[in-house]
Chain A
Amino acid sequence: MSKGMYKAKAWGAKGGNFGILAAFIAFAAFPFYWMLMTMFKETRDLMNPNHNPYLYHMRPTLEHVRVLFFDTLYLQWLWNTAFVGFLVVLITLITAIPAGYSLARLTGKTGERLGIGIFLTYLVPPTILFIPLSKVISSLGLQDSLYSLVLVYPSFTIPFCTWLLMGFFKVIPKDIEEAAMIDGHSRLGAFLKVVMPMSIAGVLTVIIFTFTLVMQEFVYGLTFITASSRFTVSVGVPTFLVRGDVYFWGSLMGACFIASVPIAILYNLFVDRFIAGFTVGAIK
């Protein structure tokens, strides 16, 4: 092949890469774009089938945002979600860090099987569990309380996060811990001074992941909570912005956009670590 052809091929490959990348970016960003568009769109503009749904044909409006913030308890729901999320993250970390560390250091088949066993509990769906769990909640007197969610959510966050942290702890060489033990620390001291600082990425991943799970959970939130002032975002938004067969699309999209953007940004910051956490245990 001539020099020119190589050059042309290189440019072609570059163009191909760029094209694929652009397609993926469009795919990932499109929901956000549509949410943002719809959030400020007049309902008449939105509902007119002759109008391009991706562009404004009439002046944008703040009406939907007003409805969201002043006619619903959206801010209260956000606060409720944050409150439950914070406590669930705390409980998950307190439980999953020691569990993940123990499983990572348990040598042989026992640790591996125990790890898989714990992960399997994550796969039991809430749609099966909510009936027996509602019995537990009522016998504890936690009906219609946010603490019912604080109690129930760790049942799916802990197994997954234990698994995730196990992967992070496994890649920390034992030598480093042993060096810290020779240098003057107990096993606990070595864990706190050396293993934990090296696992910050894992802990952050767990925080983000737990928070996401709490935000999107619907079944438990719907069944255990009745008062609208105690709803979480994922229950409150569809309950109040879908009335009969009327969808308040502008406000719905606004509610979703505001709730999802912070999580999306956090995910993007840690996506590499997140994937590493999933795969480390698998290869080694």
Chain B
Amino acid sequence: MATVETRDIRKLFGDVKAVDGVDLLVKEGEFLVFLGPSGCGKTTLLRMIAGLETQTSGDILIGGQVVNDLPPRARKIAMVFQSYALYPHMTVYRNIAFPLKAQGFPGDQIPQKVEWAASTFGIGKLLHRKPRELSGGERQRVALARAVVREPSVFLLDEPLSNLDAKLRTSARDELQQFQRRIGTTTIYVTHDQVEAMGLGDRIAVMSGGKVRQLGSPQEVYNEPADTFVAGFLGSPPMNLFERDDYIAGFRPETFLPVGLHDTSEPLVTLWAKIHRVEHLGADRLLYGTMRDTFPNEKVIINIPFTVEMQITPGEVYEFAVKEKDIKFFDRSTGLRTEPRRFWEKRS
């Protein structure tokens, strides 16, 4: 186990700033997720921590030691690639034994270690097979077993679930988290999938344009977004944002409900919206519409749980309400969070 720290780390590819000054401290045993759209620099950052990419400037520390000049093999890390990167010409057994042999592990202890790693991921019966004879889920387990077998101090995972089908991904996510909790190894996980990030991470670093936009627990980044990027990136559908004068106001689609459905003990803001289209998505009903009065003609998406049986007809105008505390405000020029503006009081 070890901490991982980056100090003002930068990476330039020509003129492109792939990573632009990232300061991070991953605590011992923590599960940290780098979340962001493709091209935001999250994979480059991970590869710099692994030593596969050299930073243009800044320091990387693993376990308190500066590792800038150490090659990947000397950093006591293990990495699982998006493609799993199994060695196709070796059996599962030899794949898992490979890091042990490479590091000069005593030969007589190798079989025991391999079997331990294989049984941890339930692939003990596949040891004699070649990677091409395995399913996607089995390959992913082999990649994890290969990463675990030499008990590294840090795990680096680069979108390890993205090649699995949706159903398998859910169970693999659950297993991965349980496993990480059990062995307690510091883990950095890269993904563009917010559901994975929210479900797995102790903390999430939301990245965009090579910078960390917000670092916090899943609840923090979802409920208290630090800027309009985070607000717009997290959530499906994302937060509704309305530009006005010098500020931007926003609320999540699921907090904006027909006026009668709210618990009345908290102060509410009521707004009118005309609904154009209704989508039934099973557990949710999505309403697409445009706002009236305060934010005229601004588009809005509303998410109502299927348990609400209220009839909604496209073309009609309805009165909706959102709790005051659920409205977030951002500076219009910087996009950063600001104090509440209480626009609803000016109106009345």
Contacts and interface: CB of A to CB of B under 8 A. Distances in A.
A184 B72 CA distance: 8
Q: Is the interface of A mostly helix, strand, loop or mixed?
A: helix
Contact of B87 (A176, A178, A189): A176
Interface string B62-95: 0000000001110001110111011111000000
A184 B85 contact: no
B99 interface: yes
B226 interface: no
A194 B73 CA distance: 15
Nearest to A183: B99
Contacts of A198: 87-89
Contacts, number: 58
Contacts of B72: 178, 181-182
Interface in A170-212: 173, 175-176, 178-186, 189, 193-194, 197-198
Interface in A118-143: none
A186 B73 contact: yes
Contact of A173 (B77, B78, B85): B85
Contacts of A184: 73, 99, 102-103
Contacts of A183: 73, 78, 98-99, 102-103, 146
A135 B271 CA distance: 94
A276 to B, nearest CB: 15
A184 B105 CA distance: 11
A193 to B, nearest CB: 8
B17 to A, nearest CB: 19
How big is the B interface, by class?
20 to 34
B50 interface: yes
How big is the A interface, by class?
10 to 19
A9 to B, nearest CB: 37
B102 A173 contact: no
A178 B52 contact: yes
A181 to B, nearest CB: 5
Nearest to B146: A183
A210 B36 CA distance: 50
B99 A197 contact: no
A182 B89 contact: no
Contacts of B50: 178, 182
A239 to B, nearest CB: 46
A186 B81 contact: no
A106 to B, nearest CB: 15
Nearest to A196: B89
Nearest to B52: A178
A254 B185 CA distance: 71
A194 B83 contact: no
A176 B52 CA distance: 12
A85 to B, nearest CB: 28
Given A180-B98, A180-B102, A194-B87, A175 B81 contact: yes
Contacts of A193: 98, 102
6 contacts: A175-B85, A176-B86, A178-B52, A182-B52, A183-B78, A183-B146
Interface of A: 173, 175-176, 178-186, 189, 193-194, 197-198
Given A173-B85, A178-B85, A179-B87, 20 more contacts: A173-B83, A176-B86, A178-B72, A181-B52, A181-B72, A181-B73, A182-B50, A182-B52, A182-B72, A182-B77, A182-B78, A182-B79, A183-B99, A183-B102, A183-B103, A183-B146, A184-B99, A184-B103, A194-B87, A198-B87
The 8 A-B residue pairs whose C-beta atoms are closest, nearest first, are A184-B102, A183-B99, A175-B85, A179-B85, A184-B103, A175-B81, A182-B72, A184-B73
